[in-house]
Structure 1
Amino acid sequence: MKRIHYFDLLRCTCFCFIIFYHLLFQLYLSGICPVERLNPLFSNSNMHLATLGVAVFFMLSGASLSYTAKENFSLAKYYKKRFLRILIPFYILYIVYFLFLLFQSHSVHNIFPEGIPAWRIVFTFLGMDSWVSMHGISTFSLTIGEWFLGCLILLYLIFPLLRFFMIKSEKFFFIIATGIYLIVLFHYDFSVPIHMNFFLKGYEFVIGMMIGYYHEKFNPKWIFLSLPVVIFFVLCPFALPISTGLKITILAVAFWISAACLEPVLEKGNGRFLRTISNYSYEVFLVHHIIIYFITPRAIPYMRGMVGVLGLFLVELLLMAVLGFLLKFISDQCIAALSNLTAVENKR
């Protein structure tokens, strides 16, 4: 199947947005810089760099799955591949980070709150502990992958069902999805922030599915419509009188189309750089929070203005690259071993 180069571009861009935001926001949490000075670097009254990155990534997840599942879709192979690719790196990092915290604190009670029922470890096995914690339920979360990972895994679990209805009648499927989206959007009654809501992230996922299955390419002329929308959201001096959730969706779709229109240009290059970063993006995403949360507060005594901040960012980015590479290498070895084991078992 032909590789879609702008998928790689979007994946790299999304993770850069998210990591950049977390790098900056941790400066505020660590007392290095007031949030008022940081906010203009990643947000305004109409957009937020991290929520844009998350929204586009949910679209990208739906598009990638539906594009690769156009032909010869096997339910068993799908779930096996998703399990290995997503949960194995999560398990490895969770175990290593837990042992690290245990070595530091000398007690499990210093890592997790007391009184958590043992059965809730199942949320960790599913990779959803942080997402469940976001809804006020105590779990054994170490914040690896945060709410993002659990929400995405839920959508991966129901993807075959969504795909079935989409193929059955794409127009009816999209109308129903849009109806649910609008009801949730304009009658919002959830405790979680709107940009983390499962139904709204699910709608972005569905938009991506539709694009990946039916229309993965766009006429380059569309950029003359989409790019002005993106620029308007970034530069608009006043708050648009529409829902925050709707702003996120409109900007994410416009940003997607703008990137998609670059496909003819991207096809002319070899795409090796983007492909490499894209291949390691998930592992870097998993480790980046741990590195930022651990390094930034400890760097306070060495902060010397902007030079110190830039040096801190450089060190953290290098550590993300190294640990992301190691995590992927170890995960790939484990996945290969498990795949070989299953292949041997199937032959018996």
Structure 2
Amino acid sequence: MKRIRYFDLLRCISFCFIIFYHMISQLYFSGLFTLDKVLPFYENDNMNIAMLGVAVFFILSGAGLAYSTGENFDIRRFYKKRFIRILIPFYITYISYFIYKAGTTGSFTSFFPPETSAWKIIFTFFGMDEWISQHGIHTFSLGIGEWFLGALIILYLLFPLLRFLMKKNPCLFFIGSTCIYLLLLFYYPFHTPVHVNLLIKGYDFVLGMLLGYTNHKFRPQWAFLSVPLVIFFFVSPFRLGIHYELKVEILAVAFCISISYLEPILQKKELKLMDLLSRYSYEIFLVHHIIIYILTPASIPYLHGSWSVSILFAVELVFIAFFSFILKWISGRCIAFLSRRTVT
């Protein structure tokens, strides 16, 4: 199966957006800069690079699954392969960070809400603890994988059903999904933030599935709409008067379409760095938060001006790369061991 290179590029860009957002915002949460100083780096009235990065990642997740499964779909193999590759790195990261926090605090429980019941460890077992905690339920979350890991896991569970509906009638599947999305957006009955709602983010996933299943290429004429839209959202001096989540959706779709036109160039180039980042993207996603949360507060006494902040960011990137490599290596050994045990 031919590899779609612009998917890799989008994956790299989306994680760069998310990591940069967390680096910048942590400067504010650590008391180093006021909000008005850091906000212009990642947000304006029409867009937020972190929300854009998350939306693009959900689209890519759906597109990648729909494209890779094609006509040969074994539901048992799908669940086994996906959840081993998702949960093993999550467990390793969680246990490692738990040991670190227990060692630095001298307690095994002080960093969890005191009223958390023991049975709620099941949410951590399934990698959904942080997403569940967004709904006002106390869990044993350490923030690993953030809220969207849990949302993605649920969408992976639903993927065989969604795939069946998509293949049955792609047009009706799209129209039905869009109607549900718009109804929820404008008549939102839940208390949780809109951007973490499973049905809202599931629409990104569905759009990605349709992209991967039908055609991952776009007509050249679409560039005359998508590229100006992206530029408008990034630099427009006035606020677009529609729902913010809808602005994120429009920008994410336009961004994916715009990047897709680079596919002929990407196919001709040997871009080892892009391939490497794409291959390690999940591990980077799991460890980057931890590195930033630990190093930024610890660096406060040494930060004096923009140069020192730049050095901090560089150091954090080095640590993220190192621990992502270690996590990938350990996870690979564990997955290989489990695969051998299953075969025998």
Give the TM-score category using the shorter length. over 0.9
State the aligned residue count.
344
Whether the 8 Å contact between 1:5 and 1:271 is mirrored in structure 2 is no
- Which amino acid in 1 is paired with 2:146? E
For residues 25 and 220 of structure 2, the distance between their equivalents in structure 1, rounded to whole angstroms, comes to 36
For residues 58 and 325 of structure 1, the distance between their equivalents in structure 2, rounded to whole angstroms, comes to 24
Cα offset, 1:218, TM superposition: 1.9
Q: How does 1:151-170 map to 2 (within 5 A)?
A: 151-170=151-170
Q: Which residue of 2 aligns with 1:148?
A: 148
Task: Provide the TM-score with structure 1 as the length reference.
Answer: 0.97
For residues 300 and 138 of structure 1, the distance between their equivalents in structure 2, rounded to whole angstroms, comes to 31
Cα offset, 1:116, TM superposition: 1.6
Q: Which residue of 1 aligns with 2:210?
A: 210
For residues 200 and 8 of structure 1, the distance between their equivalents in structure 2, rounded to whole angstroms, comes to 24
Whether the 8 Å contact between 1:90 and 1:144 is mirrored in structure 2 is yes
Once the two structures are superposed, residues 253-289 of structure 1 have per-residue CA deviations (whole angstroms, 9 ceiling, x without a partner) of 0000001111011111023221111000110110011
Whether the 8 Å contact between 1:220 and 1:262 is mirrored in structure 2 is no
Q: Which residue of 2 aligns with 1:15?
A: 15
For residues 239 and 135 of structure 1, the distance between their equivalents in structure 2, rounded to whole angstroms, comes to 30
Q: Which residue of 2 aligns with 1:243?
A: 243
- Which amino acid in 2 is paired with 1:223? A
Whether the 8 Å contact between 1:15 and 1:285 is mirrored in structure 2 is yes
Q: How does 1:246-265 map to 2 (within 5 A)?
A: 246-265=246-265
For residues 181 and 70 of structure 1, the distance between their equivalents in structure 2, rounded to whole angstroms, comes to 26
Cα offset, 1:221, TM superposition: 4.1
Q: Which residue of 2 aligns with 1:328?
A: 328
Once the two structures are superposed, residues 104-154 of structure 1 have per-residue CA deviations (whole angstroms, 9 ceiling, x without a partner) of 122223121223211111100100000000100001111101101101111
- Which amino acid in 1 is paired with 2:336? A
Runs of 4+ in 1 over 3 A off after TM superposition: none
For residues 139 and 73 of structure 2, the distance between their equivalents in structure 1, rounded to whole angstroms, comes to 34
Q: Which residue of 2 aligns with 1:305?
A: 305
Once the two structures are superposed, residues 143-195 of structure 1 have per-residue CA deviations (whole angstroms, 9 ceiling, x without a partner) of 10110110111111101100001001111111110110010011012222222
Q: Which residue of 2 aligns with 1:83?
A: 83
Listed as ranges, the gaps of 5+ residues in structure 1 are: none
Once the two structures are superposed, residues 70-116 of structure 1 have per-residue CA deviations (whole angstroms, 9 ceiling, x without a partner) of 13110011001111111000000111111111111222231212232
The answer to which of 30-39 and 221-230 deviates more is: 221-230
- Which amino acid in 2 is paired with 1:168? K
SS at match of 1:313: helix
CA RMSD, aligned part only?
0.9
Listed as ranges, the gaps of 5+ residues in structure 2 are: none
For residues 5 and 219 of structure 1, the distance between their equivalents in structure 2, rounded to whole angstroms, comes to 18
- Which amino acid in 1 is paired with 2:282? Y
For residues 196 and 134 of structure 1, the distance between their equivalents in structure 2, rounded to whole angstroms, comes to 8
SS at match of 2:109: helix
- Which amino acid in 2 is paired with 1:255? F
Structure 1 position 54 matched with structure 2 position 58: no
For residues 335 and 9 of structure 2, the distance between their equivalents in structure 1, rounded to whole angstroms, comes to 26
Once the two structures are superposed, residues 287-338 of structure 1 have per-residue CA deviations (whole angstroms, 9 ceiling, x without a partner) of 0111111110110100120011001000100000000010011001100110
Cα offset, 1:52, TM superposition: 0.3
For residues 65 and 18 of structure 2, the distance between their equivalents in structure 1, rounded to whole angstroms, comes to 22
For residues 154 and 183 of structure 1, the distance between their equivalents in structure 2, rounded to whole angstroms, comes to 21
For residues 167 and 85 of structure 1, the distance between their equivalents in structure 2, rounded to whole angstroms, comes to 26
Q: Which residue of 1 aligns with 2:111?
A: 111
SS at match of 1:199: helix
For residues 220 and 78 of structure 2, the distance between their equivalents in structure 1, rounded to whole angstroms, comes to 33
Q: Which residue of 2 aligns with 1:316?
A: 316
- Which amino acid in 2 is paired with 1:78? F
Task: Provide the TM-score with structure 2 as the length reference.
Answer: 0.98
